[in-house]
Structure 1
Amino acid sequence: MDGELTASGIDPASVVAAEDIGGGTYNRAVRLRLADGRRLVLKIAPSAPGLSYEHDLLATEAEYYRLASGPLPSVVGAGPGFLLMTEVPGEPWNRTPGAGPHLRAELGAIVARLHETTGDGFGYPQDPLHPTWPSAFTAMVDAILADAVRYRLRLPRPAAEIAHLVRRHEPLLELVTTPVLVHFDLWQGNILVDGDRVSGIIDAERAFWDDPVAEFVSLTLLHDLDAPLLEGYGTARFDAPGRRRLTLYRVYLGLIMLVEMVPRQDTNADRERFVSAWLAENLDAAQRAL
């Protein structure tokens, strides 16, 4: 930890308290309090292998915070395998009882602001970008399917069949022509609430340049699109092509959630059955949409 602090211009001797932050499933996070009163968070990447896209994720997270506008941490320092940033006030939404529906509208407005950040190519920032969204998305799906084969994971459908199903939707993906910076991990654990407001968005290491519709996979994880969120975002509803693309992105997230259990040595059989069933449901929905 001393090396990461020194590289960021922070004297390790100025740290008066350090506390590991639980709840994460990939990077290690440490909350730091400095003698001058500053509160920082240091994230350190694991050395264990993971999925194909899980490399240089903290560089992606740093880029997200530097580019996007919203209640985000500020980058203090970054380098190979680490990210030092300011701590954002608040508690994770999933640990905050009584958070009302009005916060969904506020969250929608925050996400709309985040989505004002656009780029010049599609895909993960840590990988070479693609000129089109269909080429980027099919490559991303191919990579996670290759991971499934490498880890000998049994999927609800054969990997080749899933890849073919996604490619049959390429005309639908061609409707997306502007790369938008999407967080893609906005479940309630990564949304902070402070009192009666949404105070922060954290853990952006899974971000990529893509269709803004993809953001709503984690925002509506395991439930349908809700009116307060959409009204805050600035759209009353999703059109039919948008909903069909949302199903494809749910397939992608379902694949990630299922395959990542292997390198993380997650042996929770109930979770595996649940995620597999959710993935199968979305694969069926994507098939019906053709």
Structure 2
Amino acid sequence: MLQPTTTALVDAAAGLLGRPLTLARELTGGQHARTLLVDDGDAHVVVRMFPRADDSVARELEVLRRLGPLGRLAPRALAHGELEGHGVIVTEAVPGGPPSPTLDPVVIGEQLGVALAAVHRLDPTGLPDDAREPTTRAGRLAASAQEAWREADLDRVLTHGDFWSGNTVWDGDRLTGVVDWSGARSAPRGVDLAWCRQDLVLLGSPVAAERFLAAYEAASGRRVLDVHAWDVVAAARADTYVETWAPNYAGIGRPEVDARVLRERFDAWVGALIGSRTAR
């Protein structure tokens, strides 16, 4: 079945808002939703369309209602509806763009650590629950992930669920927003921490992953003693498909982080994780 055209999506969003819209550009940092930046004459808004029979719009609306304490770091929902069976949501456009390829990953990591601490202070009650327990089908890392799981802190917080640099917005060297909340869950804090650390490693900076953790601990006022266990669990989750993330990195201006680079950096990270685990 053919997908709705870009023009049809812009027109649908205009109908939901009750005012004319014009396309500014398509945003290509992710693969789950089709995302457009559109102009309503006074400001930009973001239009996202999800696959048919996908409940992402309902889930995102539920979590966006909880994000007031984040202030301008989180977008506000403006309208929602359907287009040919596809869920559509229109939100404010957070000013800025993806982190510049020239921005120091350490700067990225430190600001993400502070922002994530604020996210994890929010109430997760009523959100879908997801422990992210590794399965026995986690490929070569299944046994290591199962062992690591026994050390994981399973206390629940409000997690973003896909907290990586491609779901953040920047104005120069300043973080201005966190977007794409459809995967938010009530889950252990290690889910977000390890996913973001893994992304910083894939960007080429294990140092940034450590500075991210330090910034998170300072902002949250707590030590995270199980981060290594969560790093292993996250790696097991990513291992079988990390190469497929190349279009995501290209979409945020990092085409050099291609499938080969992703696998090389990921395998080096896994080697360090498993090596340090064996040495303990």
Task: Confirm or deny a common fold (TM above 0.5).
Answer: yes
Query: Does residue 25 of structure 1 match 2:31?
Result: yes
Query: Does residue 183 of structure 1 match 2:183?
Result: no
Q: Assess if the C-alpha contact under 8 Å between 1:107 and 1:232 holds in 2.
A: no
Rounded to whole Å, the distance in 1 between the matches of 2:106 and 2:76 is 28
The one of 115, 137, 156 aligned to 1:110: 115
Q: Assess if the C-alpha contact under 8 Å between 2:148 and 2:229 holds in 1.
A: no
Residue 19 of structure 1 aligns to a residue whose secondary structure is strand
Instruction: Classify 1:219/1:167 alpha carbon distance in 2 versus 1 (closer, same or farther; 3 Å).
Output: closer
Q: Assess if the C-alpha contact under 8 Å between 2:37 and 2:47 holds in 1.
A: yes
Letter in 2 for 1:112: A
Find the counterpart in structure 2 of residue 250 from structure 1.
235
Query: Does residue 85 of structure 1 match 2:75?
Result: no
Per the normalisation by structure 1, the TM-score is 0.67
Letter in 2 for 1:172: E
Rounded to whole Å, the distance in 1 between the matches of 2:26 and 2:177 is 19
1:125-274 matches, within 5 Å, as 125=128, 129=129, 136-138=131-133, 141-142=134-135, 145=137, 155=139, 157=140, 162=142, 165-173=144-152, 175-177=153-155, 179-220=156-197, 221=199, 222=201, 223=206, 224-226=209-211, 229-230=215-216, 232-235=218-221, 238-239=224-225, 241-255=226-240, 257=242, 270=260, 273-274=263-264
The superposition leaves residues 228-286 of structure 1 with CA deviations (integer Å, 9 ceiling, x where unpaired) of 623553357532x332233223322444535789xxxxxx7625743773585378359
Shift of 1:32: 1.1
Q: Assess if the C-alpha contact under 8 Å between 1:17 and 1:34 holds in 2.
A: no
Rounded to whole Å, the distance in 1 between the matches of 2:111 and 2:269 is 29
Letter in 2 for 1:117: L
Query: Does residue 62 of structure 1 match 2:57?
Result: no
Bigger drift between 274-283 and 214-223 goes to 274-283
Percent identical residues: 20
The superposition leaves residues 52-71 of structure 1 with CA deviations (integer Å, 9 ceiling, x where unpaired) of xx943343333332223320
Shift of 1:44: 0.9
Find the counterpart in structure 1 of residue 251 from structure 2.
none
Find the counterpart in structure 2 of residue 43 from structure 1.
48
Rounded to whole Å, the distance in 2 between the matches of 1:252 and 1:230 is 23
Rounded to whole Å, the distance in 2 between the matches of 1:117 and 1:65 is 11
Shift of 1:186: 2.9
Rounded to whole Å, the distance in 2 between the matches of 1:195 and 1:258 is 28
Find the counterpart in structure 2 of residue 14 from structure 1.
20
Residue 94 of structure 2 aligns to a residue whose secondary structure is coil
Rounded to whole Å, the distance in 1 between the matches of 2:92 and 2:174 is 19
Letter in 1 for 2:154: V
Letter in 2 for 1:78: H
Instruction: Classify 1:172/1:182 alpha carbon distance in 2 versus 1 (closer, same or farther; 3 Å).
Output: same
Gaps of 5+ in 2: 1-8, 247-257
Letter in 1 for 2:115: I
CA RMSD of aligned residues (A): 3.7
Q: Assess if the C-alpha contact under 8 Å between 1:57 and 1:206 holds in 2.
A: yes
Rounded to whole Å, the distance in 1 between the matches of 2:243 and 2:235 is 12
Residue 46 of structure 2 aligns to a residue whose secondary structure is strand
Rounded to whole Å, the distance in 1 between the matches of 2:108 and 2:245 is 31
Q: Assess if the C-alpha contact under 8 Å between 2:193 and 2:227 holds in 1.
A: no
Q: Assess if the C-alpha contact under 8 Å between 1:180 and 1:212 holds in 2.
A: yes
Gaps of 5+ in 1: 48-53, 131-135, 149-154, 262-267
